[in-house]
A and B are shown apart, each in its own frame.
Chain A
Amino acid sequence: DADVTQTPRNRITKTGKRIMLECSQTKGHDRMYWYRQDPGLGLRLIYYSFDVKDINKGEISDGYSVSRQAQAKFSLSLESAIPNQTALYFCATSDKLAELFNEQFFGPGTRLTVL
Chain B
Amino acid sequence: AQRVTQPEKLLSVFKGAPVELKCNYSYSGSPELFWYVQYSRQRLQLLLRHISRESIKGFTADLNKGETSFHLKKPFAQEEDSAMYYCALIHWVTGGGNKLTFGTGTQLKVEL
- Chain A residues with CB under 8 Å of chain B are 31, 33, 35, 40-45, 48, 50, 56, 58, 90, 92, 96, 99-109
Contact = CB atoms under 8 A, between A and B. Distances in A.
Nearest to A50: B97
A99 B102 contact: no
Interface in B40-75: 43-46, 49, 51-52
A69 B93 CA distance: 23
Interface of B: 6, 9, 32, 34, 36, 43-46, 49, 51-52, 86, 90, 93, 96-105
A46 B84 CA distance: 21
A106 B45 contact: yes
A99 B98 contact: yes
B98 A45 contact: no
A92 B104 CA distance: 18
Residue of A43, A48, A104 with highest tally of chain B CB at under 10 A: A43
Contact of B104 (A35, A40, A101, A105): A40
A51 to B, nearest CB: 9
Contacts of B105: 42-43
Contacts of A40: 9, 104
Contacts of B103: 42
B102 A31 contact: no
Nearest to B45: A106
Nearest to A41: B104
A51 B86 CA distance: 26
Contact of A58 (B36, B97, B98, B99): B99
Given A42-B6, A96-B97, A102-B100, 11 more contacts: A33-B99, A40-B104, A41-B104, A42-B86, A43-B102, A45-B101, A50-B96, A90-B44, A101-B49, A101-B51, A103-B46
